[in-house]
């Protein structure tokens, strides 16, 4: 009895035989796969370029102002706080945890850093360290509630966001702190170096640090392992509570740094602005997970997502759309990004 044979690949026209046909078939499949991978990897970059071209050259209502250097400087400057927060929030997201308090922590850090400058008359380095340290302390509390008490990160950080809002409003009475902010800090927030807004260099430094942490350290590999399969990570002996706890500390410290940058940008500690960053930071993180390294939260994808959203919203604003369109755009982008990133992650896990 002859052995069963697998179905042969389609033969080339002209009866060239199975070997050449098989080679052509494989090359076609590999070419299609490579094209799909290229589209996945660089989709956000393509969208960003298309958005810039559309508003800068093809829409007459925005073409005159959108491509000006001052506009791009403003976009970079306006996104520095959000970029630092988004870079921080992807660290717990990598291991499957949510930090919904990151915007509120940034607001708290900005208020108490401003208070330290204005009321306690501390030096500039001390005030900056206080803001970052306060954010890290909030991360310690969030991490302890999640890992020690077993509370869902979604509930724990949502609750801490509410507590922080109440604490900040109690301390400030709802009034911004605008006096006594060091001139060096506000000059840094409003200044340029080599034509690039000075705070953007902080974003670059933060991006390099987070990239190195996630991609080139044992802790980063452990974060990915926990996020991909917590049970397998537990079976191989990873200290999951410690890994998760530290992810919230990193996220909190990033929020604290974002709060200090918020003071540098606005020259005040405003008790009402922090929470608005949370939704957009999460949107950027999930949208970034659909590109560069599809299915994985990553630094480059997150930054591309931030500037794609900023460019699109700026263009829409120049076009004269109503303010609520910006919220609709961000919300729609979040839902779409979460759906796509979940599908990509499932496919990646299934292919592993």
d(CA 299, CA 293): 10
Predicted confidence band at 13 (pLDDT cuts at 50, 70, 90)?
Answer: very low
Sequence ranges of the domains in the chain: 43-351
Predicted confidence band at 135 (pLDDT cuts at 50, 70, 90)?
Answer: very high
d(CA 131, CA 324): 32
Q: Which pair of structure tokens corresponds to residue 198?
A: 């000075």
β-bridge partners, 197 = 192
Cα radius of gyration rounded to whole Å, the chain: 24
pLDDT at 346: 66
Who wins on pLDDT, 33 or 144?
A: 144
pTM: 0.85
Predicted confidence band at 323 (pLDDT cuts at 50, 70, 90)?
Answer: confident
DSSP 3-state assignment of 196? strand
Cβ atoms < 10 Å from Cβ of 184: 10
pLDDT tens-place string over residues 41-62: 788 888 888 888 888 888 778 8
Most confident of 11-20, 60-69, 293-302: 293-302
- pLDDT higher than threshold 80 for residue 80: yes
Question: Is the distance from CB of 312 to CB of 59 less than 8 angstroms?
Answer: no
Determine which of 263-272, 288-297, 328-337 has the lowest per-residue pLDDT on average.
328-337
- The per-residue pLDDT of the chain, averaged, comes to 85
DSSP string covering 68-91, please? SHHHHHHHHHHTHHHHHHHHHHHH
| pLDDT cut 90: percent of the chain above it | 57
In this structure, the dihedral spanned by the alpha carbons of residues 323, 264, 104 and 143, taken in order and rounded to 10 degrees, is 140
Q: List the helix and strand counts (H, then E) for the chain.
A: 15, 2
Q: Hunting for tokens 């702190």 — which residue is that?
A: 177
At the top level of CATH, the class of 43-351 is mainly alpha
pLDDT at 8: 44
């Amino acid at each position: 009895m002859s052995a069963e044979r697998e179905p042969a690949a389609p033969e080339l026209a002209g009866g060239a035989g199975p070997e050449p046909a098989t080679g052509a078939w494989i090359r076609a499949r590999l070419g299609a796969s490579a094209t799909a991978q290229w589209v996945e990897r660089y989709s956000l970059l393509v969208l960003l370029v298309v958005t810039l071209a559309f508003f800068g050259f093809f829409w007459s209502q925005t073409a005159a102002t959108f491509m000006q250097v001052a506009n791009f400087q403003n976009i970079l400057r306006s996104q520095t706080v959000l970029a630092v927060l988004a870079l921080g929030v992807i660290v717990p997201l990598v291991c499957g945890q949510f930090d919904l308090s990151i915007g509120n922590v940034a607001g708290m850090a900005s208020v108490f850093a401003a208070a330290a400058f204005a009321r306690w008359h501390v030096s500039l380095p001390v005030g900056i360290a206080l803001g970052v340290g306060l954010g890290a302390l909030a991360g310690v509390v969030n991490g302890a509630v999640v890992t020690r008490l077993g509370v869902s990160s979604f509930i724990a950080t949502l609750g801490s966001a509410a507590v922080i809002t109440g604490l900040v409003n109690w301390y400030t009475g709802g009034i911004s702190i605008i006096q006594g902010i060091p001139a060096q800090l506000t000059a840094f927030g409003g200044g340029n170096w080599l034509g690039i807004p000075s705070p953007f260099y902080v974003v670059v430094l933060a991006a390099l640090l987070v990239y190195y942490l996630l991609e080139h350290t044992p802790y980063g590999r452990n974060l990915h392992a926990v996020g991909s399969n917590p049970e397998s990570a537990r079976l191989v002996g990873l200290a999951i509570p410690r890994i998760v706890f530290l992810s919230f500390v990193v996220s909190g410290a990033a929020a604290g740094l974002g709060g200090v940058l918020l003071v540098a940008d606005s020259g005040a500690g405003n008790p009402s602005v922090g929470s608005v960053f949370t939704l957009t930071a999460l949107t950027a993180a999930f949208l970034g997970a659909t590109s560069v390294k599809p299915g994985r939260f990553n630094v480059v994808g997150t930054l591309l997502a931030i500037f794609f959203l900023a460019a699109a919203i700026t263009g829409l604003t120049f076009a004269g759309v109503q303010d609520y369109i910006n919220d609709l755009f961000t919300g729609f982008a979040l839902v779409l990004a979460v759906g796509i990133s979940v599908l990509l992650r499932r496919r990646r896990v299934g292919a592993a």
